[in-house]
Chain A
Amino acid sequence: MNNIIVLPMVLPLLLGALLVFFQQKIVFQRMATIALFLVNTGISILILQLIQKEGIISLDFGGWAAPFGISFVADSFSMLLVLTANIISIVCLLYAMGSIGPKRERLYFYPFTMMMIAGVNGSFLTGDIFNLFVTFEVMLLASYALITLGATKKQLKASMMYIAINVVSSSLFLIAIAFLYGMVGTLNMADISQKITETGQTPLLTVISLLFLMVFSIKSGLMLYQWLPHSYSAPPTAIAALFGALLTKVGIYALFRTFTLLFYHEQQITHTVIGIMAVLTLAGGCIGAIAYTDIRQIVAYNLIIAVGFILIALAVMNIPAFEGAIYYLIHDMLMKALLFILAGTIVYLTKTAKLDEMSGLIRNYPLLGWMFFIVVLSLTGIPPLSGFIGKVLIGEGAIASGSYVLLGVGFFSSLIVLYSLLRIFMSCFWGETIISTEEKRPFRKSFLFPGAILVGCTFLLGFGAEAIAPHVQHAAQTLMDPNMYIEAVLEK
């Protein structure tokens, strides 16, 4: 029965390979991808319930027992993220169908998306650090293809930097793995954790952990985010939404995994550094979000603020903070996808990304305006929307550990989020309507439907937080107590 946990990665991989042969059959590709992600969502929910019943599930490939073979491990944390990733894929694909255009659809948009999601799900599920590198590469290679898809000049320019920085950080990742393997002689994460506990986290291991921190910081946009706003504002909206919602979150997941499972012994060093980086990320993100007048840049900087905010939880390291981080991570994935979609729609409708060149959209597109307003509230953390519970719990965790600076900066950033997004809202939707009926771009229902699903999700997650509470609690306990993870993998 535990074979089921490989499906969220394998199904998209197989279908992606298959769809390459149906290049011209766009309708078939659309149906197949949506059907697959629906199935995948179902499977993820099933696995989550299985974990509640039987504890963490692990699977050793080829029957090679845990430290020797490659294993997949599904705990509540990874499965919640897999579930969210699949829901977001459905939404972004629905939006892509209405907006991305037949040219890009024929350029293997769907197969590449499938490959990328396979990489994302694989990164969440793998229990082997080298396998994590491989799944990262699967995800990144597909994302290289997606970011250049259609090959407009702007995309080509942005992708150069994106690819260069990711190739270099992948090399650093390999260097870190090489050193770690040289020190502990194993690649299975549970086994590494056990070995580190036995020998103690020596200064050398702490240095290696900082190397890992740097690698994942580049991937997740923690402090080393300078590549991010530029590259994420170039590709078409649906692709940017996928990137914004999923790719940085995989980096955050990897940070949580390595610094709760492997390197949790020297918290005065590693977790203090993470805390400082989180504060700098929040500060940089806030400055960027206020400074720019390009709507896509503002949205990208909002993404960075969220990264800093979630990493506060890792810096303070206690159960309420972890619960908050998981709630907030799920919320942020959903809402950032929606924010990117809405911002992209606004740019499409007004033909400009400059704030001061647009106004009065609410008269033409009232529903769009209201949806944007709900996102603003949700991202700021107004109850009963989904951002609230995550923010409260992270704040509770920060108070419990006495990190008042982190608490203050974190909550101050919420105000900046509110300000920067309200600025978009006011200058886009309020004021005089300047788009005349003749030059109005055609507005399709298919722009709003995917967004409506996500708005539904934020209400559901806000009101129904109790429903996923057992999973979130289990996930937070696993993060806090690495032995639960180790026992599930090594002692079956």
Chain B
Amino acid sequence: METIMIIVAGVLVTVATYLLLSKNMIQVILGTAVLTHAVHLLLMTMGGFKGEDVPIIGEGAAEFADPIPQALILTSIVISFAVTAFFLVLAYQMYQKTGIEDLDRLRGFRHE
């Protein structure tokens, strides 16, 4: 199971890298979203998949998955949700104000 998850995370990182390197603004934003998902999978895998019991001490749980990575992922999902939302609004604002959707046209100031 761990091996499959690591491979999936790797594929997601590849996809995210491809999207991040593209020139289209929306693709870059989607790239950051995919990248955070890949990281969440990685976090979950790092905790290990060890069984289905509820992780409460004294309830006879013999094999249970580590709960901490899940708590971390939950926190991180909320953060990445906020960031992606903000990023999308920003891209929309910029398209409205400047008509730019191609990142190549963002570079530097003039006269330099």
Contacts and interface: CB of A to CB of B under 8 A. Distances in A.
Contact of B46 (A134, A137, A148, A181): A181
B54 interface: no
Interface string A140-168: 01001100100101001101110110011
Nearest to A296: B109
Nearest to A148: B90
A153 B97 contact: yes
Nearest to A131: B75
Interface string B54-87: 0000000000000011001001100100110011
Contacts of B25: 160
B70 to A, nearest CB: 12
Given A174-B39, A181-B69, A294-B112, A160 B46 contact: no
Contacts of A354: 111
B46 A159 contact: no
B7 interface: no
B32 A167 contact: yes
A270 to B, nearest CB: 22
Given A151-B97, A160-B103, A171 B43 contact: no
A322 interface: no
A130 interface: yes
Contact of A161 (B20, B106, B111): B106
Given A175-B39, A178-B46, A144 B86 contact: yes
A316 B44 CA distance: 37
Contact of B43 (A153, A163, A167, A178): A178
A193 to B, nearest CB: 18
A62 interface: no
Contacts of A163: 83, 86-87, 90
A101 to B, nearest CB: 19
Interface residues of A, number: 33
A175 B91 CA distance: 26
A164 B91 CA distance: 11
A175 B42 contact: yes
Question: For chain B, which range describes its interface: under 10, 10 to 19, 20 to 34, or 35 or more residues?
Answer: 35 or more
B23 to A, nearest CB: 12
A160 B20 contact: no
B98 A153 contact: yes
A235 to B, nearest CB: 14
A168 B90 contact: no
A178 B111 CA distance: 44
Contact of B39 (A145, A178, A182): A178
- Taking each of B46, B75, B93, B108, which has the highest tally of chain A beta carbons within 10 Å of its own beta carbon? B46
Nearest to B98: A153
B94 A168 contact: no
Contacts of B109: 294
Nearest to A158: B106
Given A151-B97, A164-B28, A179-B46, A130 B72 contact: yes
A66 B92 CA distance: 45
A187 interface: yes
A115 to B, nearest CB: 12
A168 B39 contact: no
A230 interface: yes
Given A178-B42, A181-B69, A141 B98 contact: no
B43 A157 contact: no
A179 B97 CA distance: 42
A137 B69 contact: no
Given A161-B106, A174-B39, A178-B39, A167 B97 contact: no
A156 B46 contact: no
Contacts of A153: 97-98
A66 B41 CA distance: 27
Nearest to A130: B72
Most chain B CB within a 10 A radius of its CB, from A141, A163, A292: A163
Nearest to B28: A164
A168 B20 contact: yes
Contacts of B72: 130, 177, 181
B86 A141 contact: yes
Contacts of A130: 72, 75
Given A156-B94, A160-B106, A164-B20, 4 more contacts: A144-B83, A148-B90, A156-B98, A177-B72
The 9 A-B residue pairs whose C-beta atoms are closest, nearest first, are: A182-B46, A178-B43, A156-B94, A167-B32, A174-B39, A178-B46, A171-B35, A137-B79, A178-B42
10 contacts: A141-B86, A144-B83, A160-B103, A167-B83, A171-B38, A174-B39, A174-B76, A178-B39, A178-B43, A230-B108
Interface of A: 130, 133-134, 137, 141, 144-145, 148, 151, 153, 156-157, 159-161, 163-164, 167-168, 170-171, 174-175, 177-179, 181-182, 187, 230, 292, 294, 354
